[in-house]
Copies of this chain bind each other. A is one copy, B any other.
Amino acid sequence: MALSEFKLIQTYFNRSNETAEPDILLGIGDDCAILRPKPGQDLLLSIDTLIEGVHFPQGTAAYQLGWRSLAVNLSDLAAMGAQPAWFTLALALPDSDEGWLSEFSRGLFDLADQHQIRLIGGDTTRGPLSITIQVHGYTPTGKALRRDGALAGDALYVTGFPGEAGAGLRRIQQGGYTDTDHLIRRFYQPRPRLAFGQLIRDLAHSAIDISDGLLADIGHIFERSGVGACVDVDAIPCSAPLVEAEGAVEALRLALTAGDDYELCFTAAAEHHAQIMHHAQACQLPVTRIGTITFEPGLSLINASGNSVVMEGRGYQHF
């Protein structure tokens, strides 16, 4: 690279002069970072790679890419109810474009600062554009919110408005959009639900973040928990911008099946409903009950009248 790896890291990624955290003994600059994990806490970690042309369109603005790369990883911490602590970044770049690096690191640190997570190490190299981030966070010992804890009878919830990111991606692929459009921003700048995840950690029995699509991720919960789920399609929250952009039928299909929303889907005993809604309000986050966990394995869809419905092709049909 024109810019040496050392210079690049120093200029765009090393902020070691900022206020030190007591659990970070050594960040960027040696063979390893040195951490002293907090006592009484479990350490949670997750790694994800974003590759140009696979996970984001070619030409994605660097700021948005910096944000999104960290956001999708933070969402994994949110889904487990963890408090963010540190992250590492492995960045492969075709060249060292300083304008790009400046914007990428600005997007990355804007989100990192919001959630007080520190960059402690990484690797930069030449190669096809790809970003791998590993995030680390804490929960009190034994308190992590897993996807395998759902119980029959649990209420099933979703945060926010699923399907918006999918509709945003469709617009990006079609072209002719502006980056400030609501749906576009929902794809490029997902907001990991960290505060809410920590608030429901002691109430919820299971949780997952919606990266594969709402129904697919509900499937991951009930399969791992050895139960089933009944989803009321009339309860699925379809936002006004989504319905306006796609029409009611397609909006619902996207809400049920499109990925990339990074909202949380979780289950909890019905008796905690009021408390969950209280936490939702505290986070100014829409939270909707969309179904129930069942003894019977598998997924069933019903409408508000309680009749079975079936997804088919681009919509759903009543039996």
Contacts and interface: CB of A to CB of B under 8 A. Distances in A.
A240 B47 CA distance: 43
Nearest to A264: B31
A96 to B, nearest CB: 14
Given A92-B130, A134-B134, A123 B35 contact: no
A284 interface: no
Interface in A87-136: 88-90, 92, 120-123, 125-128, 130, 132, 134
A57 interface: no
The CB with the most chain B CB atoms within 10 A, among A32, A51, A79, A128, is that of A32
Contacts of A48: 90, 123
A312 interface: no
Tallying the copies of this chain within the complex gives: 2
Contacts of A53: 127
A224 interface: yes
B130 A26 contact: no
Given A26-B146, A49-B92, A32 B132 contact: no
The CB with the most chain B CB atoms within 10 A, among A26, A120, A141, is that of A26
A123 B47 CA distance: 7
B141 A36 contact: yes
Interface of A: 25-26, 29-37, 39, 42-49, 51, 53-55, 75-77, 79-80, 82, 88-90, 92, 120-123, 125-128, 130, 132, 134, 137, 141, 144, 146-148, 208-209, 224
